[in-house]
Structure 1
């Protein structure tokens, strides 16, 4: 119960402060976020993080499926294969690193 009350109080404070800041401040924050997201360094970092996450997920799936064998549901296996194909996993060697 204590956490619910804390959450509601935090939500209320955030709403009050947000409404006092007004639309102009919201537009400033939105413009800043848009400019940051267009920065090539930020885009490269996000792309790199996504690619690394996909690689780790693929390695983890392979390790888990080796240990549990046929206990991995086919729906999960198909979803992982689809994500791997969509990410362009064709350029990976046996170690899971790209050749580029």
Structure 2
């Protein structure tokens, strides 16, 4: 029984000391990260990367919009011309029968 009690007391003491040291180290790391993030050179790079990302997103959006417009025009032409099949406005339609229950 003494061994278990000693083990629990030692574990509790280690936990308390460890959490204090852990918190202090965490605070040191957090302060260093805050100083790094607040550095004007780092902030300059952050703004530069944000601007580049915004420009790339705008370019990708414009390309996507152009492609979507072209595809929509092709679909519209195909639907209004009957698709060249003579089976109606939607062209050849393949029907699949569902198995009955």
TM-score w.r.t. the length of structure 1 is 0.48
Q: Which has the larger radius of gyration?
A: 2
Identify which of structures 1 and 2 has the higher relative contact order when contacts are C-alpha pairs closer than 8 Å and 6+ apart: 1
TM-score w.r.t. the length of structure 2 is 0.48
